[in-house]
Structure 1
Amino acid sequence: MAGASADPAYGLDFGTGAAAPDPGLYNEDLAPVPASRRDWSWVNMSTVWMGMVHNVVAYEAAAGLMALGLNAVQSLAAVAVAYVLLFLAMWFNARPGTRYGVPFCVLIRSSFGPRGAQIPVVLRGFCAIFWFAVQGYAGSMAIDAVLGTLFPAWAHLTTPILGMPLKGWLAVAMFWVLHAWIVSHGVHRIRNFELVAGPLVIVVGILATAWGLHVAHGPGPLFDQPSRLHGAHAWLTFAVGVTGMIGIWSTFAVNIPDLSRFVRSERDQVIGQLVGLPITAVVFTAMSVITTSATILKFGHPIWDPVALLLALHQPWVLLLGGATIIIATLSVNVAANIMPAAYDLVNLMPARLNFRSASLLVLGIGLLFAPWLWFKDADSIFKVLGAIGGLLGPVTGIMLADFYLVRRQHLAVAELYTYSGRYRATEGWNFTGIIAFLLGGTAALIGNVIPALSMLGAFSWFIGIIVGASAYATLAHLLAAPEPNASRRVAGDAA
């Protein structure tokens, strides 16, 4: 793209006399998606979310909440509150993506500067690749379990290689190839895959729920268990559960513009997220509780792990159908929630060398370097690392919201997001307002992990990070406000 002044096919018009896009900030994958190419309807947006919330972590979420002492109804209420709050954050943070057609890694330049933006972009990319590796390995375990049941000889492939048996490597290779096939034709193949994957998982979930209702002759024993908590302790535990549920998707609240930039209207974006996020998540969690209730009556103890449940049923056809569903569900969440944002982040780092397809394949390779099979031996370490990173991304969400709604008043000079000389350049490309707000918000979000006396704050790190990050950014931006560019430049920028 070196030397390019504009690319009308991608909706970018710099106007007469404006600076050309810098090749270090621009290529076709980072360019605004023009209105003619924004063809995702609310159905596409909702099925993408369906595919993401239907995963093993979400299935087992109710188990974690009930382990805290909440009963089934309280757990469902906690899930509902968490996903409604997430929906609100993602709705507002998705709007600039829908309005201007640009991804997160470009939007963040408004508040951090074109060079300072690399800080949150690299942080989000690291987290996405880490989650991809963890989810990818979990999916490969489902492949291993299915093949081990269908083909007895599979269980004998136990030669250890770099800490993992041969059959594990073969399962990982199969799962990685499936990922590569889905992302090989870009975002539109991802959209089409999610259009099938999301509803398919719902259908299988309905079948599992019907089985559970039949075995338990109703909602089941889990719904009969009373809460073990009362009074203030119950409310505090409920709040901790809500925050924990939000933590699963807090990182995606940052880069929701990566998806919303393809949606054809604000109405489609809102309806799609409403159907796909809070509504589907609550229904899916209820399905998991009912199905697990049936396992108490059938096996004498609850089985929350869907792979373990499939193995316990000893029905090859059920194992095949259920295993395939788990694999598809894991593929679905991994592609949309992890590979896609990580690919955009890598493209942002090297726009002259990478496009979305090559960056997606690079994510697959980097994911193996994380050696997730070794991390699984100490699962607590995974969530400590990812929890800390997620806590740092809460302030980024708050800064993005404050920048777009309070500072920019929902107006961006899009063309100037692609140059080092525009109104967003700040100090040589570094906007210290955003960086300082990020440091303050990150410190507040993670201080509970450092000071034992404040450990309780760690349960609310996402909320603290958003509030402190947004407040600090809005305050500093007001105190350090620069003169507004003249009207002609603003109109030209907004028109792009």
Structure 2
Amino acid sequence: METHDLFVTQEQLERYRQRGYTNADILPKTKEKRNMNLMNYFTLWMGSIHNISNYVAVGGFLALGMKPMHVVLAIILAGVITALVMAFNGRAGSKYGIPFAMHLRSVFGDIGSKLPGALRGVVAAIAWFGVQNYFGSQALLVLIIRFFPAFAGIAPGFNFLGLTAPEFICFALFFIINVLIGLGGGGVLNRFTAILNPLIYLVFGGMMIWGIQQAGFGAIFSYQATEVSSTTTFMGYLIIIAAILSTWAAPAVSVSDFTQNAESTRDQSIGQMLSMLVGYIIFAFAAVAVLNGASVAGINHDGQVLNIVNSWDSNIAVFVASFVLLMTTVSTNATGNIIPAAYQLTALFPSVMNYRRGVLAASLVSFIILPWRFANSAGGFITFLNLIGSLLGPVAGVMMIHFYLIKNQIIDLNALYFAKEDASLSQYSGINTNAYIATFAGLIVSIIGQFIPSLAWLSEIGWIAGFAIAAAVYYVLTLLGKDKFSTRVK
């Protein structure tokens, strides 16, 4: 990929500061601050692939009725496609050094960027925060019961909207821990990445070996669940690809927050591609080996990797595996969910919100939505993934068409960082109405299957449907519009 990366000067930054852009997080990164190389991007997502929610999703994939090897191949293909989306949508960040907020402004306008920003930073982040809290609390529950069995019998008649007393206590405890970390900023957790990632691959590599020992390689890849859906192989591939794209829907939209720090577009592109390819090859074989290996061995796990961990005889193995799962969840939950949600709430309601209030408000909403209701089964979790994909797939489609086909990868930084008094003169002010129409068209198509049974297949591939329709509609509207770039309402 040929690159022509641009680096702002200190004089340019000073000009933008004088226009009111005093927050360093909004300004483009200078060459000196772009310190992430190919290896940094190669390791960036490796640990995030192996988490509880992804293993739950694979449990749902295996229930589609496809042969296990097809599931493995579909997961790897989905990883490659996800990497392409991340790398290409991240090019605006790596080429110009701009963060997600300004990348979004360059597409939707300064006013128009608020809604898609809220979809990523509030809706998706809050929902994911609640779901990850639930999965983390389940790992904590496994750990506590393993060493204190009496904990499982606390208040046998208690039921809090579907949670038993032990489940509620663990959820509340894990919830509070994550909120406290969110209030502290969560940045310190990044220092543990170098230690945590090797531990993740050590644990799940060991689990893959365990699964093969339990059942044998041949039995694992010939096993099929007794209760499966009648999905065709082709549709199964699309469902798996859409679900994994939905898993990464939020980072894929806001990937400029990561690529703005790239030493070059080449580094972030190759690094992310290798990260996803290697990570998902390992993950695909490990997940299928663990889940099917346990099934062949007669372990009733219901697609939940935690049930498999709890079946082990070794307390040390249970402790290490559960601890790594807990650490992974805490780290990704703070940096990927609650912190973006808090900042987005602050941006949307600056007069009443600050960062700490944003953390508390987002946390409260994540509790109110009762995330365990749609996260405690593989099928329900895939439905949740498709919903997130339906919300953010159209946004990604518009962003990529705009940057590559409409603007030819050109962003005018001087116009993007306009002064308030000059807003009427900037092409990036107001609302890009074409982008809004296209985004809503993609959203409607991706969720219509929830209301029209004959179109249910569209909702099963929500991210793909939303992305494709939004991209196509935006391109056609722009070509037909008076302004060949976009139509804006000031």
TM-score by length of 2: 0.83
How far 1:136 sits from its partner (Å)?
A: 1.0
- Structure-1 residue corresponding to 2:220: 222
- C-alpha contact 2:140 2:326 (8 A) present in aligned 1: yes
Do 2:259 and 2:268's aligned partners in 1 also have CA atoms closer than 8 Å?
yes
Do the aligned partners of residues 445 and 13 (structure 1) sit closer, same or farther apart at CA in structure 2, a change above 3 Å counting?
farther
> CA 1:293 to 1:483, structure 2 compared with 1: closer, same or farther past 3 Å?
closer
Letter in 1 for 2:446: A
Matches within 5 A, 1:42-57: 42-57=38-53
Is the CA contact (8 Å cut-off) linking 2:110 and 2:428 kept in structure 1? no
CA–CA separation in structure 1 for the residues paired with 2:425 and 2:317: 56
- C-alpha separation between the residues in 1 aligned to 2:208 and 2:384? 34
Aligned residue for 1:257? Answer: 256
Aligned to 1:107: 103
**Equivalence for 2:31:** 35
One-letter amino acid matched to 2:98: V
Is 2:446 the counterpart of 1:445? yes
- Tell me the equivalent position of 1:393: 392
2:145 equivalent in structure 1: 148
Q: Are residues 273 and 360 of structure 1, via their aligned partners in 2, closer, same or farther at CA, if it must alter by over 3 Å?
A: farther
Identity percentage over the alignment? 28
Look up the equivalent residue of 1:277 and give its one-letter code: M
The equivalent of 2:13 in structure 1 is 12
Tell me which residue corresponds to 2:4.
none
Residue-by-residue CA offset, 1:200-246 (whole Å, 9 max, x unaligned) = 21111112222333344x425121348999xx943233333332332
Question: 1:319-363, CA deviations, whole angstroms, 9 ceiling, x for partnerless residues?
Answer: 111111221232243234423543443343256887777755654
1:392-426 Cα deviation digits (max 9, x unpaired): 32111011011111222212123433445447856
Q: Distance in 1 between matches of 2:338 and 2:58?
A: 26
> What is the one-letter code of the residue matched to 1:219?
F
State the alpha-carbon separation in 2 of the partners of residues 211 and 355 from structure 1.
48
Cα deviation for residue 93 of structure 1 reads 0.3
The letter for the 2-side match of 1:145 is V
Q: Identify if the C-alpha distance between structure 1 residues 395 and 47 changes in structure 2 by more than 3 Å, giving closer, same or farther.
A: same
What is the aligned partner in structure 2 of residue 280 from structure 1? Answer: 279
1:116 aligns with 2:105: no
Residue correspondence of structure 1 range 141-290 to structure 2 within 5 A: 141-158=138-155, 160=158, 163=161, 164=163, 167-176=166-175, 178-179=177-178, 186=185, 189-216=188-215, 218-225=216-223, 233-290=232-289
How well do the aligned residues superpose, as a CA RMSD in angstroms?
A: 3.6
Pick closer, same or farther for the CA change 1:204–1:361 going to 2, 3 Å.
farther
Matches within 5 A, 1:396-475: 396-419=395-418, 420=420, 421-422=422-423, 429-475=430-476
1:428-479 deviation line (CA, Å, top 9, x unaligned):
7222121112122222322333333322222333223222212222333333
Tell me the SS of whatever aligns to 1:412.
Answer: coil
Cα deviation, 1:37-80, whole Å, max 9, x if unaligned, reads 23233333333312211112322443322221211211111111
Q: Name the SS of the counterpart of 2:431 in structure 1.
A: coil
Which amino acid in 2 is paired with 1:32? P
> Residue 90 of structure 1 aligns with which residue?
86
- Letter of the structure 2 residue corresponding to residue 435 of structure 1: Y
Greater shift, 114-123 or 415-424, is seen at 415-424
Structure 1 residues 286 and 336, CA gap change in structure 2 (3 angstroms): farther
Secondary structure (helix, strand or coil) at the match of 1:313 reads coil
Contact persistence 2:139–2:325 (CA under 8 A):
yes
Is the contact between residue 243 and residue 389 of structure 2 (CA under 8 Å) also seen in structure 1? Answer: no
Cα distance in 2 for partners of 1:319, 1:305 equals: 14
Partner SS, residue 32 of structure 1: coil
Task: Write the distance in 2 (CA, Å) between the matches of 1:422 and 1:477.
Answer: 22
Deviates more, 1:80-89 or 1:176-185: 176-185
Provide TM-score, normalisation by structure 1. 0.82
Gapped runs of 5+ residues in structure 2?
1-7, 486-490
Q: Find the residue that maps to 2:311 and give its secondary structure.
A: helix
Shift, 1:152, TM fit: 3.3
How many correspondences in the alignment? 471
Q: Partners in 1 of 2:267 and 2:182 — Cα distance?
A: 24
Deviations 1:271-305 (A, max 9, x none): 33123223202211201222334324543667642
1:74-128 CA-to-partner distances (Å, cap 9, x unmatched) read 1111111111111111110011112223322321112211111111111122111
Moved more, 330-339 or 285-294: 330-339
Q: 1:318 to 1:213 in 2, by over 3 A?
A: same
Cα distance in 2 for residues equivalent to 1:301 and 1:379: 14
SS in 1 for 2:112: coil
Q: Tell me, in whole angstroms, the C-alpha distance in 1 between the residues paired with 2:252 and 2:280.
A: 16
- Once residues 41 and 352 of structure 2 are traced to their aligned partners in structure 1, the CA distance between those partners, rounded to angstroms, is 30
Do 2:415 and 2:428's aligned partners in 1 also have CA atoms closer than 8 Å? no
The alpha-carbon deviation at position 264 of structure 1 amounts to 2.7
- 3-state DSSP of counterpart to 1:194: helix
Specify every segment of 5 or more residues in structure 1 that has no aligned partner in the other structure, as ranges. Answer: 1-6, 485-496
What is the deviation of 1:134?
0.9
Give the direction of change, closer, same or farther, for the CA distance of 1:74–1:460 in structure 2 (3 Å limit). Answer: same
CA distance in 1, matches of 2:138, 2:298: 23
Amino acid at match of 2:220: L
Aligned residue in 2 for 1:490: none
Cα pair 1:186 1:356 within 8 Å, conserved: no
Q: CA deviation at 1:308?
A: 0.7
- Aligned counterparts of 1:327 and 1:424: Cα–Cα separation in 2: 50
Tell me if 1:315 matches 2:314. Answer: yes
Q: Conserved in 2, the CA contact under 8 Å of 1:41 and 1:264?
A: yes
Q: 1:73 pairs with 69, 73, 76, which one?
A: 69
Distance in 2 between residues matched to 1:286 and 1:11, nearest whole Å: 49
Whether the aligned pair in 1 keeps the contact of 2:90 and 2:259 (CA below 8 Å) is yes
